[in-house]
Every structure is written in structure tokens, then in C-alpha cells.
Chain A
Amino acid sequence: MYPAAFDYLAPTSLEEALTVLAERGDEVKILAGGQSLIPMMKLRFARPSTLMDINRLPGLDVLEHSNGRITMGALVRHNDVVKSDVAKGNHTVASAAPWVADPIVRNLGTVAGSLAHHDPEGDWASVMLACGADVVLTSRDGQRVVPIDDFLVDMFTTSCRPNEMVTEVRVVTHSARGGGDYQKLERKVGDYATVGVATSIELDEAGKIGTAGLALTSVYAHNLKVTEVEQALVGSTPTTDLFAEAGRIAAAACDPASDTRGSAEYKRHVVDVFTRRGLARALEIAEGGAT
């Protein structure tokens, strides 16, 4: 299978890349890892007239931890996250990374590219929604730091403007009293999630839940942040009953489709179970009992 012909540009400076975007805007697709984009171009779901390869831009492979947050440049690969000690600062991120795609795809595919592509069944969007990440968009006019909730508009749609590109993703680290997890059911390695559940919590000094995040993959038209669960958790003492309630709320909030991966009823059940399991795992980490 071959994509339609395109102009290929491989700028070597960010300034040059932003000029291409300013001049060609909508005609341009950005090639980072290409592990979603190239298959879509081969199927001709995507037919950009210009493909701008950003792999030769310096500095976009930064993966660092400072001031309570992890910064991931636009060229940080999934496997960079898997192998990095820096990423362990956020338990949800560290838990999800080995479940993204397959080991070879992870060598090229990028976290930022996955978010920018916003496949509604992608894993990273749920992780970032649960953890409250920010996306940095850069254009010749400057930078915008956009909360993930505002960045993700709808399936395959983000608030990135035609003259902008994602240059960075920022996600807070968990404190010593925090924990997080990503539970994913997949039929085989490399498949989309049948169900994915991202959880993140921080305990306050009294041992109650201070902040909570929960987001679901593959059980709605897009990655679904379940604020009702977050509201039910915050201010409460974490117990098995509370997590069971969270599971019920999450299962009621999702709207899975029956397909080759399972019936809607089955997926809803898995959401319930994974929500309870994910929160229990996050709590175990937050209480320091995790191995």
C-alpha cells in the first residue's frame, strides 16, 4: 500500500519548522514516530500534501523531571518512557508505557504524537486526563500551555491550530503520598485496548483522598475523564466500599460498543473491575506498601 504523493520537508531547526507551519498550515502533517500517521496515509485516510519530518529538530527528545513535573519533548518515544527512571515519578505514566502498542512500535511512536493524533482508543490520552497534564503548543507567535482537557476536543481532533505544533507534554509527578496505575485489557500485544482505566490519587495528611483522577479508554466515543468518580473520591477515606462505588459510577458513565473485542455489557463489567483494581493499586503505592 502506498500513500498519495507528498512534499517531504525535514527542517533542522524549530524556527524553520514553525515557518513551514505558518506558511502551509492545514496542508501539513507532522511526522514524529509515524506509527499511526503512516498507516493512515497508506490507507489514504490521511492525504497531506506536505509531510514535515520533525525527527531532525534538536532538543525535542528531552525527558526530565524538575519542580514536581515531568517534561516530555515531542520526540520522546514510548520506549524512552518505559526505560526511563524519570518517568517513574508519575506512577500512572510508568504503569501505562509498557502497554502502549508493541515493543517495536514503541521504539518509534511518541507520546506527544499519540496525543496530537488523538485516536479515541489511544492509551496516553486517558493517562494524561487522569493526571491533569498540560500540552505545550508552539507557533511563530509564541507558546500556549493548554490543559489536556482543552487540548483533546473530540476523536482525532485537538485544539492545536494549523500554525502550531506540540513541542512538549508536561505531567505532574506523584508525591510520596500519591499513586497511580493503568489497567489495560487487550486481546494481544499491540492491539487497541478492549478496556483501559487510568487512575491517579494523592492522599492528604489525614490519609483521606486529596486529589483523584480517573479516565477510561475504548469505552466511549473518546477517552473519557469521569469527573463523577473524582468527586466521589475526593475528601473520602479510601476503603474497598468507596472503590466499589467508584467502579459502579465509572461503569455507568461509560458507553461501550459491542464489537469483536467484546459485548458492551462485558466491557462495562471490566470498567467496574479495573476501576476498583486500579484505585486499589494506586492506594497501595500511595501508602508505600507497593513492591
Chain B
Amino acid sequence: MNIIVTVNGTEHTADIEPRRLLVDFIRSTLKLTGTHIGCDTTSCGVCTVLLDGTPVKSCTVFAVQADGRSITTVEGLKQNGALAPIQAAFKEHHGLQCGFCTPAMMLVGSALIAENPSPTEEEIRWAISGNLCRCTGYMNIVASIQAAAKMTSEGASQ
């Protein structure tokens, strides 16, 4: 089946089997391996991507469902070649240890900030509650998202 999907601003046309999962389409067909596969059972959230701006677990979406829609993966976060605030904040605040959950955490964080420019710590913790960090490094992930929210709102007011 032919689909047209815009990924990180670039339109891709592909002929795929309907049962192809979105995560495999992203990783194997488009070779964007920043999106990870963890549990493969809708639990861990490391495969999270943004579908029309909304976080979804791409192991539990068929690629055909994305036909005509827009996907953002971690590779699409950078802005004009520079780190986006969420990426800069994770770097600055040591928001990653092994890095496996990081792409998903940054995407969920950026979607949260887009919807709620100054989230409280509790709101951040609820927002990432569908994403597991196997290093249990949540303290700095939360701090990074908080810092990114601050950087984003300061950037917007300049």
C-alpha cells in the first residue's frame, strides 16, 4: 500500500505492507534510528514520536495510519542546525544517563511545553509517566524539562 508521510518536514512516499509498524517504518525504511524500540508492548514509551504534534507510542501504530500526516522524531528537534531548547537543557542538566529513553523524553517534554509553557514539577512528572527511564534518572529529566520550559519562554519573550 502506498503512503505519503511527512517526517521532520520532509515528505516520504513508500509502498508498505499494512501490518508494518510505524516504529519499523521510521527505523528501517527511513533509517532514522533515534527512535528506539524497548518493550514493544506499549509500556515503556521509548518509541514515542509526535504524530501531528501529539506523542504516540510508535510500536502501537501502523505506518498506514500515518498516511497524509506529519511525524516528528528526535532527529527533527534541532532548529536551524542548532540544539533546540529541550536538547540544550538535557545536555546542560545531565538529563540522560544511558540515553535510551532520551529521544522520547525530549519529544514528550517538547510537546508538554508547547501545550503548557510553564509546567510545574508535578505536571512534568505526570506528562512523562508513560515513559520509563531504565537508569531511573528522573530527577534530572524533570529538571531538564523545567529548564527547557524556562529557556523557551525567555526565548519567546525576546
Contacts and interface: CB of A to CB of B under 8 A. Distances in A.
Interface of A: 1-8, 10, 31, 34-35, 38-39, 42, 51, 53, 55, 101-105, 107-108, 189-190
B65 A55 contact: yes
A101 B129 CA distance: 10
Given A8-B64, A104-B130, 20 more contacts: A2-B21, A3-B19, A5-B19, A8-B18, A8-B62, A10-B64, A31-B65, A35-B60, A38-B61, A38-B62, A42-B40, A53-B65, A101-B130, A104-B48, A104-B57, A105-B42, A105-B57, A107-B54, A108-B60, A190-B43
Chain B CB within 10 A, most for which of A6, A35, A42, A103: A103
A105 B131 CA distance: 11
Interface string B21-43: 10000000000000000001111
A189 B44 CA distance: 11
Contact of A108 (B1, B43, B61, B131): B61
Contacts of A189: 129-130
Contact of A107 (B21, B55, B65): B55
B45 A102 contact: yes
Nearest to B47: A104
B70 to A, nearest CB: 15
Nearest to A101: B130
Contacts of B61: 34, 38, 108
B55 A104 contact: yes
A95 to B, nearest CB: 15
Given A5-B19, A35-B42, A108-B56, A103 B129 contact: yes
Contacts of A7: 18
Contacts of B55: 103-104, 107
Contacts of A55: 65
A1 B20 CA distance: 10
B127 interface: yes
A6 B131 contact: no
Closest 7 CB pairs of A and B: A102-B130, A8-B18, A104-B130, A189-B129, A38-B60, A103-B130, A104-B55
B17 interface: yes
A189 B116 CA distance: 21
Contacts of A38: 42, 60-62
Nearest to B40: A1
A8 B45 contact: no
